[in-house]
Chains A and B, each alone.
Chain A
């Protein structure tokens, strides 16, 4: 039986496509330019500086920071909440796009999943940095100590420990599983020590139909499991605040408000990462303007959602008119924190609304500008949730101010360098775009060829 020519895939072009994809996406692994070493040196220097600052804080004591009564949470917890929020870029977005089988997800998912893993690692460090005696951080782990004193499982801080670790383990596996076939490609294309290392990481992957089925089933289950975990993580981070009787913290809206903010900042981080990768790794053939446009639309939706939550939070507080809450309300609206507050509103709402709402501006450059605004705005949002409330509680004896000290500024700032360093190193050693998913997306669906039957035992050849 003959088939229409248009439905028969051209084998030569398929092989050529596969080889082009291999060549383009493995290039960063095989070729190293001076820019890589420069980036590693610059970002590594930033991380080293932060490490020295942290060691200095541990040696000289917590007094070197600006954190003192009544504002016990400052830059460190702001950065903790911010980075956990950024982590929602990857696994959550990737899982949703996988479940709805969005074809345009293919070049985007791994870029996003990597952000999750590294942002979680960075975010999870902050509670430890925030400790006066960081070497006692292991007290959070539920282990049978000598006197059988267990961590209090009713504390939101212990919930954080469980939620973040579950999300981290899930996200690492969610990143690693679809990487296995690509590690096998790198194994096949390398020699010597690299061949042995990638061979070990590829876990003996061969690409049998059974392996593909199992991998895809596992990714489906993981995607379903990881979405509620991701939502729970930032809800639980919001419980760190909403479980405490502090003005403007104890509100039921904090859970969804934090989750929406996390996804919002995560999408912004993803857009920036994609633009940088596209530019520096020359991935123009894979990360198309349509990817930015689609994510830009998502950014616009999240900006509107963020505005909706802020409006809700503010209006309910305003109508409640409780003096301690109104004091914090006015501090942020028109007193000492007003400049930061209105900068946040412009960055998180006005800027994305204009740049992503008007189609002409929804370009790669427009997306990047809006995303930088959102990242700044979301950091400010975390800061404005924490400091104004802690500095102005119920009675005048607990009023106070917070002035961040150099050690805090260095450590908080260097986490951006840490993120970029980890990202650069990852892109150097692992294909940053999923090779096999891209190949699967670029192949023309073929006509289902039937198996041999009793009537045609030798297939179509009739030997």
Chain B
């Protein structure tokens, strides 16, 4: 992997760097920004917000609900036992199992969506351990050779910032 990046000490400098990289002709999806905490006070931290996670959680809940209903129906009707005169398949007691598995379905769907959409568990590409110390990485992965020089200029415009090329 080839990459050009720089580490900034504050969000303001990082935002300026992002703006300059954009101006150099790179699209947002080509620009990598890494930080040690959410940077929602800055424009670069606002991207990629749209997500179907809520909807997928609801679908997961529905799957859990259907599973619980099926489980309750199959287990109670496959060996019908008269317990205290209750009907074989009684709604009130089954609502508890249905509720628990609905919530479990929603929780598991949420976590799976997070893992998939946040690309967790995949081998990382551009990264610098200095991000953990609070620095903000702005860079571009696999830039075309013709753009490297311009990119280095754009990223290095802030005083005392060191541009790294790997």
Contact = CB atoms under 8 A, between A and B. Distances in A.
Q: Tell me whether A and B are bound partners.
A: yes
Interface in A190-248: 203-218, 221-222, 225-226, 228-229, 232, 236
A146 interface: no
Contacts of A142: 71, 75
Contacts of A152: 81, 83
Contacts of B147: none
Contact of B103 (A19, A22, A170): A170
A206 B32 CA distance: 10
A451 B22 contact: yes
A388 to B, nearest CB: 25
Interface stretch (A41-49, A257-265, A283-291, A439-447): A439-447
A459 B45 contact: no
B68 to A, nearest CB: 8
A189 interface: yes
A387 B142 CA distance: 70
A450 B46 CA distance: 11
A208 B94 contact: no
A162 B83 contact: no
B53 to A, nearest CB: 5
Contacts of B144: none
B145 interface: no
Interface residues of B, number: 81
B114 A436 contact: no
Nearest to B114: A218
Contact of B37 (A8, A217, A226, A436): A436
Given A148-B79, A443-B37, A185 B154 contact: no
A183 to B, nearest CB: 11
A445 B41 CA distance: 6
B4 to A, nearest CB: 16
Interface string B34-77: 11111111111111110101100100000000000001101110
Interface string A146-167: 0011111110001100110010
29 contacts: A11-B10, A11-B13, A18-B36, A18-B133, A153-B71, A153-B94, A162-B97, A162-B101, A163-B100, A166-B103, A169-B104, A181-B36, A206-B34, A207-B34, A207-B36, A207-B131, A208-B48, A209-B38, A218-B113, A226-B103, A228-B99, A232-B96, A436-B38, A439-B36, A448-B42, A452-B22, A459-B20, A461-B157, A463-B153
Interface of B: 9-13, 15-16, 18-20, 22-23, 32-49, 51, 53-54, 57, 71-72, 74-76, 78-79, 81, 83, 86, 90, 93-94, 96-97, 99-101, 103-104, 106-108, 110-111, 113-115, 117-124, 126-127, 129, 131-135, 153-154, 157
Given A221-B106, A459-B16, 16 more contacts: A11-B12, A15-B134, A149-B79, A150-B75, A153-B72, A189-B132, A204-B122, A208-B32, A208-B33, A209-B45, A218-B53, A222-B107, A443-B37, A448-B43, A451-B18, A463-B23
